Chain A
């Protein structure tokens, strides 16, 4: 074969390969791989079989390797069975049940992620998802558990009550920021803690949220009429909260991409000076965006109390999702579609984490570690490329940062 015959120009495969390896999709996949590798290190070093095998590593190294493989593959297989597809279950419905569980767990993450992401787009760092979710839960929970309303109307009123409560709680921060210029990060952090204790008090007070006749800081179960119906029948836990989250995604997409209000909010987020000079009231926008963001986070609270935990709830119903939502929003680059994807990914990790813990006794926190590493790696493509020695694309994409308004500083 002469030198002249060998590929005078790069073959089509080569070009395609290059595009794949330098593109965003590859980075995402490799980020997940890297994070999973890091997770497996944790799993392996704390696994007892691995530890005991490592004790005689020099005598029989293959034992250690085998133990590591068993520990890691077992854990990730369990994760997969819990999050996507369980081949061990009987019947197709049971096999794909994990997928519906993932969507269930994704629901509040998507809704709250939207609330954080929307605020980002308007230049605000809404770190108050926790408080907003708690207040939404209180609102929806009160209506759902203690009001007597006809079928249909009851659910509607409960949902609205939750969304409005979340909106008001965030609106307080927006209003104070607009009026006094106080930093929204402080305001929302303080409001988180205030909500925490306010809810604790309501839960401990008869006539407000505490279940009648009980001493526990818990509400009564929600009335049947206020429950978000299961979407796929009673064998699956996936409830209509997921539909609410999808509606929220669609609404937020419309708001940001198509509506005039969203246009103004984005303008304020990208450049408040120019927005002001163009007649857009920055302070009013802050209030509006926080109210809407709080309402979206409210959907998360609503879906928890009326769908996921319908048996009555206590003081940590937010389960840290106000903060998870920040990660989801960041991974989704503050775009509604991105947040939908990020929410589902994290929901799947969550669902899988439970199964991994139950089956392999691997603590849930591995999932936290893996999730946060994914976000970090995806945000830094050059690092991932360097690790895998991938070529740098012609146009440097490294600086393509998220669409979080740049005005967000702390």
Chain B
């Protein structure tokens, strides 16, 4: 045995910072592209940003008036500065911080809004309220998706859950005359779709994508069938639900800008805030979430510590369905006082995109859905205040924005390890 025993190699592993030129490159490209707008199509006049909803609001804020083209140029200049900062940092081997990206995006947005709304008034409250409204069903849907996938079951059936939720809410809401029962019915409908998904995916090991896709078709078939054979002829009794009323929350709704956007909403939107918070908190800070994530990451490991994998999956897939079903209720208890055939129009797929975009995290998925809602409504507002772009291109905007965001900024993302895998015990 040797006499000298000493460490020759240090225990610590070296760390280096990985620098990627992606951020500065994307910044540069967007800065140049954006600069082309005020350059090639300079806009006359001023842009007015209105910060109150109406003249009747309790607290009045003056309109924000800025000269359109100069503001755009200022933003371009600041974006160029941000690009240079990102470039220098990358060259120094340090990654660009998140705040720089946020600042950049805000500049891009402000510049674009100023340029595009030349000579018009941009109602900020309406822009944001509409975004939230468009995002709400997507958020519910995406949360349902997050829970499903986090417990290891891919939920392509969000669309089915939204649609069946919308249908049941309209039906039960009409029959009982109260939106609350409509909401419960929507949750039950979503839950039942989740149950079918669970039976096939968990008990019969059927490929989860198959079940999801097929459920979407099935629910379109069923709702349209019953809509046209039963509901459409009896609109007054079967398809005219009482809607949730807008409730202003005292004090909070008086906060300038944010108040009317966030706190003059229907109960369903407030429920959405609560559900997002609960799901986030529950997922990361409670026993329920810990077990759920364990089952989705490594079902066998969960099994070895006494967690019932199949039962956990069943329960949570149904819970996920119920949450997505609430999103369905939004269609017929908030947006529109009637059910219409295929009225969710593919929102479930957008919710699916939002949850992947949001990396299977409830908060990020919510933000992704909000981004989508914002882009959609921005398109709407611009088509109203007059834009030189054909309507079809405006309608394309949210999808293009999402495409760029996903491909440019987000990139590779890692789903829960066991998502999509059936758990077959020995």
> Which A residues lie at the B interface, using CB under 8 A?
42, 46, 125, 127, 176, 179-183, 185-187, 189-191, 193-194, 197-198, 200-201, 204-205, 323-324, 326-327, 330, 363, 365-369, 371-373, 375-376, 379-380, 382-383, 398-399, 401-402, 404, 406, 408-410
Contact = CB atoms under 8 A, between A and B. Distances in A.
Contacts of A326: 213
B141 interface: no
B209 A399 contact: no
Contacts of A398: 204-205
Contacts of B205: 398-399, 401
A56 to B, nearest CB: 21
B168 to A, nearest CB: 17
Contact of B410 (A46, A182, A380, A382): A182
A366 B407 contact: no
Interface stretch (B1-9, B234-242, B323-331, B350-358): B350-358
The 9 closest A-B pairs by CB, nearest first: A181-B412, A368-B221, A409-B420, A201-B392, A380-B204, A372-B218, A369-B221, A365-B225, A46-B229
A201 B390 contact: yes
A193 B229 contact: no
B209 A408 contact: yes
Nearest to B160: A372
Contacts of A330: 207, 209-210, 213-214
Contacts of A399: 205, 424
A194 B206 contact: no
A186 B209 contact: no
Contacts of A366: 221, 225
Given A185-B352, A409-B415, A363 B406 contact: no
Contacts of B406: 180, 182-183, 186-187, 190
A404 B214 contact: no
5 contacts: A187-B406, A189-B350, A190-B399, A368-B217, A402-B207
Contacts of A201: 390, 392-393
Contact of A365 (B204, B222, B415): B222
A379 B225 contact: no
A376 B211 contact: yes
A197 B217 contact: no
Contacts of B395: 197, 200
Nearest to B412: A181
Interface of B: 149, 154, 156, 200, 204-207, 209-211, 213-218, 220-222, 224-226, 228-230, 346, 349-350, 352-353, 356-357, 390, 392-393, 395-396, 399-400, 402-403, 406-408, 410-413, 415, 419-421, 424
A280 B392 CA distance: 41
Contacts of B226: 46
Nearest to A371: B217
B425 to A, nearest CB: 12
Contact of A189 (B149, B221, B349, B408): B349
A365 B400 contact: no
B145 to A, nearest CB: 9
A190 B225 contact: no
Interface of A is mostly: helix
Nearest to B341: A365
Nearest to B211: A376
Contacts of A382: 204
A398 B350 CA distance: 33
Greatest chain A CB density within 10 A among B222, B407, B424 is at B407
Contact of A186 (B200, B206, B353, B420): B353
Contacts of B419: 409-410
Given A190-B400, A363-B225, 9 more contacts: A46-B229, A176-B407, A180-B408, A186-B357, A187-B403, A190-B399, A193-B346, A193-B396, A376-B200
Greatest chain B CB density within 10 A among A179, A189, A327 is at A189
Nearest to A401: B207
Contacts of B215: 372
Contact of A180 (B224, B228, B411): B411
A198 B213 contact: no
Nearest to B410: A182
B392 A365 contact: no
A217 B221 CA distance: 28
A363 B396 CA distance: 33
A372 B408 CA distance: 37
Nearest to B221: A368
A238 to B, nearest CB: 26
Contacts of A204: 390, 392
B217 A323 contact: yes
Contacts of B149: 410
A383 B396 contact: no
Given A186-B357, A368-B220, A323 B228 contact: no
A410 B154 contact: yes
Contact of B352 (A176, A189, A194, A408): A189
Contacts of A402: 207, 210
Contacts of A189: 349-350, 352-353
A321 to B, nearest CB: 12
A182 B353 CA distance: 11
B211 A379 contact: yes
Nearest to B159: A323
A74 to B, nearest CB: 16
Given A365-B221, A383-B204, A410-B352, A323 B213 contact: yes
B407 A180 contact: yes
A404 B217 CA distance: 20
A182 B207 contact: no
A335 to B, nearest CB: 14
Contacts of A383: 200, 204
B225 A46 contact: yes
A379 B353 contact: no
A179 B406 CA distance: 12
Nearest to A176: B407
A363 B224 contact: yes
Contact of B209 (A205, A363, A380, A404): A404
Contacts of B420: 408-410
A193 B346 CA distance: 10
A42 B218 CA distance: 13
B423 to A, nearest CB: 12
Given A42-B225, A125-B209, A363-B228, A185 B353 contact: yes
A201 B389 CA distance: 11
A376 B214 contact: yes
A379 B407 contact: no
Contacts of B403: 176, 186-187, 190-191, 194
B394 to A, nearest CB: 9
B218 A369 contact: yes
Given A182-B406, A410-B352, A198 B221 contact: no
A366 B415 CA distance: 36
B207 A379 contact: yes
